[in-house]
A and B are shown apart, each in its own frame.
Chain A
């Protein structure tokens, strides 16, 4: 069974997400996932399950600070792990819905 992605590399069916799929998406973005990446991915997945929203940068930073401590709850830390726009990139790797470009 093959997993389908759209032209931008987002999952067509969110239920296809698995840790292997996450690694595949990350790789296509040039990121090799390690434990530091994974704990952030789990924070954003939990955020989505709790609030049914994909977080923007500030709430993501806040959620990471709450779950993983203040040292990690900084935009610079997230930028290092997920260069460019961390909130979007983590969401993509974590299998959250494609952002509606609203911001």
Chain B
């Protein structure tokens, strides 16, 4: 176990409707630079951040999907989505731009419990 505080970042916002997704990513990258173990959970509309084939150039915005694929370069590999959210949105793991851990909704509470700090975006 690391003596650094671990952080769980819960993402519940869609990628382009607000600046939340980008703000969350910046916090994740920064915490990783400071050697804090970072886990990311995508729930509800947050799942849409992970979808493959985004075309935000139509909105004149930066591609969130591209930035998320940099996470492994920052040693952020603990990425969680729930089975229920995939099912609700008619998605499978193959629709996502990153490899993720699929967990059941019940697991969220233990994820929260297993981290020292939690932030929500």
Contact = CB atoms under 8 A, between A and B. Distances in A.
A95 interface: no
Interface string B66-98: 110110011100000000000000000000000
Interface residues of B, number: 14
- Main SS at interface, chain B: helix
**Tier of interface size on chain A:** 10 to 19
Nearest to B70: A51
Nearest to B35: A58
B70 A53 contact: yes
Interface string A58-71: 11001100000000
B70 A103 contact: no
B62 interface: yes
Interface of B: 26, 29-30, 32-33, 62-63, 66-67, 69-70, 73-75
